[in-house]
Every structure is written in C-alpha cells, then in structure tokens.
Amino acid sequence: MKFDFDTKVSRENTYSVKWDTEKMQGGKEILPMWIADMDFETVPQIKEAIANRAKHGIYGYTQRGKGYYEAIIDWNRKRHNWQLEGEWITHSLGVVNALFTAIRAFTSVGDGVLVQPPVYHPFYRAIKYTDRQLYLNPLKLTEKGYEIDFVDFEDKLRSGRVKLFMLCNPHNPVGRVFTKEELTLMGDLCLKYKVLVVSDEIHSDLIYRPHSHTPLAAISKGFQENSITCTAPSKTFNLAGLATSNIIIPNPELRQRYNWANDVADINPYNIFGAIACEAAYRHGEEWLEALLQYLSENKDYAVDFIEKNIPEISVVRPEGTYFLWLDFSRLGLSKEALERFLLDQAGLWLNQGHIFGSEGEGFARMNFACPKSILEEALHRLKAAIAEFLIHSFK
C-alpha cells in the first residue's frame, strides 16, 4: 500500500479537540471516536505545499489565485460531473459558518427553515441563534434504511412558512447518499413552493460504491439558480483546522446577497494555509483519496459485519457515504444520560450521543471509523464486552 493508514499517529499535545480534552484525562483510557476528523495524516503534497509556504516567513493578507479556482473547477468536473464557473465560487471559514451566513442572507427573523432529522446538530444551532423557526421533515427508518417522507416534506413546504431547506447530502449522521431521483423530487418541490435550497455537501467525496454523489445544483438549471452548495476539502483530506470552505452560488443575485451578509458580519475567510492546502488537495489528492476510500470501506464493512455477528443488541445500517456508523442502542433501554455514561465508563468509548441530532436520535450514538483499523477493532471489542457485562447484570 502506497499510503499508510494503519500506523497510529499520536495527536496528543497538538491542541486536537478530539484527543487533547479533559474527558480524555480521566483514569481510564478513552477512545475518542466522535468529532468528524480523521486520525490519518493528509496527502503528502498538501504537507509539502504548506511547509514550503511556511518557510517564506511572511504571512500577510492574502487572496486566492487563478490556480485555486481552477483546482476546484477541475475537481468538481472530474469527481462530480459538475461544470462550475470560477465566479460562482465564494468562501467561508467553514461550512457551519456558511449555513449561518445563508440563513441571515436569505431569510428574515421568524421565517421557517426545514431540516431532516436526525441531522447534523449545528443545523439546529444556526436556526435557533438567528431566531428562525425550525421545521422538521424526519427521515423514516424502514427495513431498507432511512427514507425521505415526501408527503410530509410537501406538507411542510405548503404551509408557506418555510423559506429555506437545509439539505444534508450525504446525510450526517445516517450515512445516506440521496439518489438523483430523491434529489429531483425535493428540488422540484422547493421550486414549486419557492423555497431556497442550501445544500451541505461537505461529505460528497466520501462515498462507497455502488453509490455516487449527485450535486443537487447539477441536476437542472432551475436547481442551479435556486440553491447554494456548501463544499470543502476539510472532511475529504482532514483539513478542518485550516478553516477553508468553498460555497458555490451560481445565481448572481443570491451570490451578491451571500457576500453582503459575509461583509456585514466582517468575516474575512482568507486563510493563507487553508488556500494552499485546498489547491494542493484538489490538484494532487485523488490517488490518496481512492486509497482512503478503500481503507474506509474496509473499516465500514468490518465494523458492520462485526456488530451484526457479535453484538445483536445493537442495530446498524451500512452507510452509503461519510465515515460514521449510526448505532441504535435503544434495545438496551437506557436513558440518554445512562447511555452516555455506559459508553464512556463501561466501554471506554467517546461517541457522539444520538440525541444531539434531534429527538429522533435518542437511543443512538454516532461512531467515527476514520481511524487505523486496530483502533476500530479495539473499540468494537470493548463494546462487545461492555454489552455482555451489561446484559449479565441486567438479568440478575
């Protein structure tokens, strides 16, 4: 293997949110498998590009060059069959930052914003902190996995209160990669009821065969004009600490409003190292990404097979994209507090608690499997042993 994803690289004393926090400093060794970054080194050419720029020694105000835009355009054409124009690309410090900016730019206080829970928890924060109204179109868990409730979706839009739909595709935490047909139905309904789509596609490069990602905006000219698409190299190449995202807004009026909202908040999204890393990632990262996807896919299959075979008390749906497992612990009958304590204290695992993704997530937890396989194996064996122990005690 040309790239090494097996070696454990210590992240201690690197100011890592995942590894350098209080929870990790208790007596018991806790495995952190929560926040969405990977325990892998990034693409060698990205490290090199950053190191070369760092050597220069002057880090003044910066702008993006032609090569930056070309790299993004080429990547999207090649990987997502989506032909962008350079001027469509705007910026933000992060995708969550862009969600806040979009809500402020395109809706007013009191307007409705629709989301599909259980969903990435900062979506709720963005709606609450901007004093907008939360509207829910919960995904339905069927025998086939999570599906969209289109009848409810249209009901929510028909109310006339919803002005913006915040789509998460691929979906965090449930791991769905929505099909072109599903996206077309949602996009058409949004056009019909004049609801703007803000599509968070940050996980769009992390897709497992035979699934493939379709950018909603690439489906039709109508969708292109009625959407903003949030992208970033951060999940794909493990660059979240560089705070650099690219927000694609083909419609010039929308783009102007988005940029205005950024200016009003005095956000300067131009981080010099983020720009260098992004360009290097999209220019040189494809071979590394293919190797990563192979590794992640093996981790995913290993984990799902292990759970199905060894821990029948937990249900799991095989994810189509992202590096998360969405684990259903509800059969243990624990309250949300008790589940969190059980995972930390008995299993020694720090996962994201499901309830933060909405009440639909209660009884679930999200596990990040973007780590060396040996860590994943350890985590699953810990889980198996903790549940076996739990069952013995609960039958006493």
Ligand X SMILES: Cc1ncc(COP(=O)(O)O)c(C=O)c1O
Indicate which single residue of 38, 166, 240, 254 sits in contact with ligand X (rule: CB under 6 A): 240
d(CA 246, CA 27): 41
Indicate which single residue of 89, 196, 232, 292 sits in contact with ligand X (rule: CB under 6 A): 232
CB of 121 to ligand X, least distance (A): 9
Token reading at 237: 């190449």
Indicate which single residue of 204, 245, 299, 352 sits in contact with ligand X (rule: CB under 6 A): 245
Query: 153-165 in b/e burial notation, b at 16+ Cβ within 10 A?
Result: bbebbeeeebbbb
d(CA 175, CA 173): 6
- Report which residue's Cβ sits closest to ligand X: 94
Among the candidate windows 20-28, 92-100, 255-263, 266-274, which touches ligand X by CB under 6 A? Answer: 92-100
CB of 97 to ligand X, least distance (A): 6
Indicate which single residue of 33, 36, 49, 365 sits in contact with ligand X (rule: CB under 6 A): 36
CA distances for 182 relative to 116, 238, 322, 373, angstroms: 13, 29, 18, 34
Number of chain positions touching ligand X (CB under 6 A): 14
Q: Which residue's CB is nearer to ligand X, number 36 or number 349?
A: 36
Indicate which single residue of 106, 120, 153, 342 sits in contact with ligand X (rule: CB under 6 A): 120
Query: 196-232 in b/e burial notation, b at 16+ Cβ within 10 A?
Result: bbbbbbbbbbbbbeeebbbbbbbbeeebbebbbbbbb
| Window 171-200: residues binding ligand X (CB under 6 A) | 172, 200
d(CA 312, CA 384): 10
Q: Which residue's CB is nearer to ligand X, number 30 or number 95?
A: 95
Q: Which residue's CB is nearer to ligand X, number 234 or number 299?
A: 234
Q: Tokens 């999940």 sit at which residue? A: 235
d(CA 288, CA 281): 9
CB of 61 to ligand X, least distance (A): 22
Q: Are 296 and 38 in contact (CB under 8 A)?
A: no
Q: How many residues does the chain have?
A: 396
Residue 96 interacting with ligand X (CB under 6 A) = yes
Indicate which single residue of 39, 76, 94, 216 sits in contact with ligand X (rule: CB under 6 A): 94
CB of 22 to ligand X, least distance (A): 21
Q: Are 257 and 96 in contact (CB under 8 A)?
A: no
Q: Which residue's CB is nearer to ligand X, number 234 or number 262?
A: 234
Q: Which residue's CB is nearer to ligand X, number 100 or number 223?
A: 100
| Number of other CB atoms surrounding residue 98 within 10 Å | 32
Residue 281 interacting with ligand X (CB under 6 A) = no
CB of 76 to ligand X, least distance (A): 17
Indicate which single residue of 90, 234, 236, 238 sits in contact with ligand X (rule: CB under 6 A): 234
Token reading at 50: 């950053």
CB of 93 to ligand X, least distance (A): 7
Candidates 111, 62, 66, 113; CA nearest to 86 is: 66
Q: Which residue's CB is nearer to ligand X, number 120 or number 153?
A: 120
Candidates 117, 228, 231, 212; CA nearest to 174 is: 117
**Interacting residue ranges for ligand X, rule: CB under 6 A:** 36, 94-97, 120, 168, 172, 200, 202, 232, 234, 240, 245
